Amino acid sequence: MRTVLSTLSLLLSFLSARALRLPEADYSQHVLAPPQADDNNGIHLAVSPACGPLSGAVSDVNAGVDLKRIKTIVAFGDSYTDGGRTDGGPLAPPVVTPPDAGAGGRSTDGKVWVENLADDIGATLMDYAQSGACTDLSLWPSAIRKVDFLGQMRTFLGQSNALDPNSTLYVVFFGINDFDDSRRDGEANLQAAAQVILSQIRILASVPTNARNFLLADVYGLGTHSPAGDAMVQTVFSGLYDLHRGVNSTGRGEGIGGQAPGPALNVAFSQFGRIWDGVFGEPGYKAFGYASTEACIRICCVTTGMCDDPEHYFYYIPNHPSKEGMRIIADYAEQVLERCAEA
């Protein structure tokens, strides 16, 4: 009898020890459990967010966005965020049908990053992004595609969507095409482009949308930096600090000249440029699992003549990441939202 009791005692102690260790193991993992390297054809993040305060220089930061509460994601942007449909409706399957190289209308061979983000948190995605979009066409006479953030906003607002402000995250990802257009039209309007982004956030924060949660992302130069480009990003970042404090958060001058503050917006900023800096600089593309920094498809956008190993090329078509790259972009955004929360 004593032997049986001793055995039971040892078994209970073992189970208790395992139970006590489980939370510790959970906390060591990424909250949203992104794919491990083997689940993404060996491609993985080799850089981490550079967390900092919203009140300073541009950094990765999350000031109030709680992913666990998000049920809907509304996305605005360019080809990096364009899921193949621009009216917020359900997206086509992310399947490549040769000779078309795009997966269901996307500029990659699978899901775009914001789809991965939505999938990871079980949210419904309403995607309004358009390939080639800039912030405001009036700023860039040379823009090739005649689409912009303002047009995406007209589409969204014209639908009179009744979305819960507390469970909806608004994603805004612009800058690539504005920066590219500035090379032809001059850099003077990059500051105006930054103000367009902030003004549209204020519109979303106003009646009737009453948006309260925003994620902004940037990789304006795809690994190239310039003083004017960096200044554009800093203007957006500094504007988010004001919006988070309720300063002019709906464009009615709240918190200015003695007025009471307006609604304090929950805002996050993700520096996707750190991925590009890491791939093209240190620690280098091989650290991410890539075999090449080139594009698998050199002539956009047909599968004819494509490489044999698209999974390990950083770009799928020129200047557009493969689906594996889109996956690690989403991983980076999730790490920012989880690790860079301001106290």
Boundaries of every domain in the chain = 57-339
pLDDT of 23 reads 33
DSSP secondary-structure letter at 189? T
| Angle, vertex CA 274, rays to CA 82 and CA 56, nearest 5 | 105
pLDDT of 170 reads 99
Determine how many CB atoms are found less than 10 A away from the CB of residue 235.
19
Q: Which residues of the chain have pLDDT under 70?
A: 1-38, 343
CATH number of 57-339: 3.40.50.1110
Sequence-distant contacts of 248-254: CB under 8 A, at least 24 apart: 248/202, 249/202, 249/205, 250/202, 250/205, 250/206, 251/199, 251/202, 251/203, 251/206, 252/206
Half-sphere exposure of 224 (CA within 13 A, CB side): 9
CA distance linking residue 250 with residue 203, whole number of Å: 6
Q: What is the DSSP string of 146-174?
A: --BHHHHHHHHHHTT----GGGEEEEEE-
pLDDT of 203 reads 98
pLDDT of 307 reads 95
For 127, the 3-state DSSP assignment is strand
pLDDT of 299 reads 86
Hey, which residues does 172 pair with through a beta bridge?
76, 216
pLDDT of 245 reads 97
pLDDT of 1 reads 42
Hey, which residues does 60 pair with through a beta bridge?
51
Phi, psi (rounded to 5 degrees) for 77: 165, -155
Residues 6+ apart with CB under 8 A from 261: 245, 246, 247, 249, 254, 255
**What does DSSP say about strands 213-218 and 266-271: parallel, antiparallel, or unpaired?**
parallel
CA distance linking residue 271 with residue 329, whole number of Å: 10
pLDDT of 301 reads 87
Alpha-helix runs per DSSP H in the chain: 2-27, 113-121, 149-158, 176-185, 190-205, 227-244, 273-280, 323-339
Of 31, 41, 55, 60, the C-alpha closest to 275 is 60
Phi, psi (rounded to 5 degrees) for 273: -60, -25
pLDDT of 236 reads 98
pLDDT of 163 reads 98
pLDDT of 12 reads 38
pLDDT of 32 reads 56
| Token pair in block for residue 304 | 């004819």
Backbone dihedral region for residue 16 (phi beyond 0: left; psi -120 to 50: alpha; all else: beta) = alpha
Sole residue written with tokens 């956009």: 300
